[in-house]
Amino acid sequence: VFWSAQVSTQKIVVLGTGGTIAGKAASAGDNVGYKAAEVGVADLLQGVPGLDKALQGRALVCEQIAQIDSKYMEWEEWRTLALRCQEVLSDPLVTGVVITHGTDTLEETAWFLSAVLDTSKPVVLVSAMRPVCEIQCVMRQREISGQKP
């Protein structure tokens, strides 16, 4: 009798849409003269301290759904995002979805997804009032000075 077991790993899926959180400025400390939606979700996650520990052995899967300033979020982006969320949430190995998003239409996106998604798994939207370059600069300063985030 021959059989093989496939090793399965639980996954958290991060879907990027752009926004201020993915913004970039000419200098790391500039939180005013930045351009939104310049950093892809995979690069955005590179700067998150302690991410490996927080994953607790789960795999992290990143996918860029959109790369826009969230004030430009419209029906097509919401539809694409909802369809992709539902698709990845149907995978039994996916334990949840995190969506990086801008603040301008965060509430509308959250409301829309709560109305159309059929899942008991968590769907978390994250955003920031400052671009990633500013956030990473503050985190690095805290690391150097020994402060906890």
With 0-12 / 13-18 / 19 or more C-beta atoms within 10 angstroms meaning exposed / middle / buried, residue 44 is buried
Residue 3 has pLDDT above 50, yes or no: no
Q: Which residues contact 141 (CB under 8 A, 6 or more apart)?
A: none
**pLDDT at residue 4, as a whole number:** 39
**pLDDT at residue 123, as a whole number:** 98
Q: Are 43 and 136 in contact (CB under 8 A)?
A: no
Write the pLDDT tens digit of every residue in 42-67. Answer: 988 887 778 888 999 999 999 999 99
**pLDDT at residue 8, as a whole number:** 66
Write the pLDDT tens digit of every residue in 63-118. Answer: 999 999 999 999 999 999 999 999 999 999 999 999 999 999 999 999 999 999 99
Active-site entry in 17, 20, 100, 109: 20
**pLDDT at residue 31, as a whole number:** 61
pTM score of the predicted model: 0.82
Active site residue 20: yes
